[in-house]
Structure 1
Amino acid sequence: MTSKKKEKYAQILDAAQKVIAENGYHGSQVSRIAKEAGVADGTIYLYFKNKEDILISLFQDRLGDLVDMINASIRETRTADEAIRKICEIHFTQLEQNVDMAYVTQIELRQSSLDLRKAIGLAVKPYIELIEHILEKGISEQTFRPDLDVKLTRLLLFGAMDEVVTSWLISGRKYSLSGQVDKTVDFFLRGLK
């Protein structure tokens, strides 16, 4: 994709994130996304097959960015404990700073059809695998219990962070999401050791 096409693609995804966060997936028309992006309706279809494709691409793009950010950050950590803390810090901080992304990734996933949730699940997979690698590192460095069920534990960690963010949104964001990092990580580490 040329840089101009990449820019237009990102512009459409930004608009989709805003429109879906404000109106919900089912209440968001492609024409509204196009208007928010400042493009003609037909332009959307040069980049995406349909509205479902836009939502799936949005998850792939935003979660891909989050995983890249976490990967870069955990390269600087020495232990699995530090890596778990970094994941939680970045997850909570990024979603707190980008409330539209939080609404789309937390609320819309639960309201989508089974097929759409499966496709979005594929976008989440690299994030789950990242957590799995950190758990394996913790076991190999003898920081985490050797009897951990890594496949189950990776889902429990991701699911716990997911639920903390969802509860924060549902509460009307009445408290600091990033302020929940220490207690969340303390809980995780107690269970992992």
Structure 2
Amino acid sequence: MKKDKPKYRQIIDAAVIVIAENGYHQAQVSKIAKQAGVADGTIYLYFKNKEDILISVFSEKMSVFVENLKVIIQESITAQEMLARMIEGHFKVLSEDHHLAVVTQLELRQSNKDLRLKINHILKEYLDLLDDILQRGIQAGEFIEDMDLRLVRQVIFGTVDEVSTTWVMKDQKYDLVEMAPRVHEILLKGIQTQ
């Protein structure tokens, strides 16, 4: 399988750097190939085109968020703890890879509608896990019973996403992970049982 080959990973990692530094529209396949240390033609053994590279980058990197969240759900006792660790984990992944943060928070937003739909499909697994956390919280009596699950999910993910985007826009000048407890506290106030 292509994804298991080392050059696939090299190209993905190179694409993150090139897209972050040049912007998606200026990120030529030749620049990605050069960054990856492969011939231009090698890229096309793994990817159909530049759009396919961007979707693959998002899919590969989003799987890191998903796998982290699965571990958090397994290891955590309460839904509140799961939510706190999810927010912290999300911020941690982005703060440890500045190029990835630029790509996910800025470059993916500038893509066309068709591309955004594919990206939303990839994001679905992560959002489904967030739904799982919320449902566990309701069942355990931690979160209010009559919450609008879809709306609460949008508010939580939207907040985490916007805080991340603002951090990127401000040139990552402050500690994103340090914001996690404050974000968690604000979000909890809206869904916690009294």
Common topology (TM > 0.5): yes
Q: What amino acid maps onto 1:81 in structure 2? A: Q
1:44: Cα distance to partner? 0.5
How much identity, in percent, do the aligned residues show?
48
CA offsets 1:131-179 (integer angstroms, 9 cap, x no match): 0110011011110000111112112111110000100111121211011
CA offsets 1:32-65 (integer angstroms, 9 cap, x no match): 1011001111111110110000000111100011
Q: Which residue number in structure 2 is paired with residue 58 of structure 1?
A: 57
Alpha-carbon RMSD: 1.2
Gaps of 5+ in 2: none
In 1, the alpha carbon distance for the partners of 2:2 and 2:80 equals 41
In 2, the alpha carbon distance for the partners of 1:49 and 1:157 equals 35
Gaps of 5+ in 1: none
Q: Which residue number in structure 2 is paired with residue 114 of structure 1?
A: 113
In 2, the alpha carbon distance for the partners of 1:73 and 1:47 equals 32
After TM superposition, list the pairs within 5 Å mapping 1:31-180 onto structure 2: 31-180=30-179
Is the Cα contact below 8 Å between 2:55 and 2:119 reproduced in 1? yes
Q: What amino acid maps onto 1:142 in structure 2? A: G
Q: Which runs of 4+ in 1 moved over 2 A?
A: none
When the two structures are aligned, how many residues end up with a matched partner? 192
In 1, the alpha carbon distance for the partners of 2:46 and 2:2 equals 13
Q: TM-score, normalised by structure 1?
A: 0.96
In 2, the alpha carbon distance for the partners of 1:109 and 1:15 equals 16
Q: What amino acid maps onto 1:32 in structure 2? A: K
In 2, the alpha carbon distance for the partners of 1:148 and 1:2 equals 43
Q: TM-score, normalised by structure 2?
A: 0.96
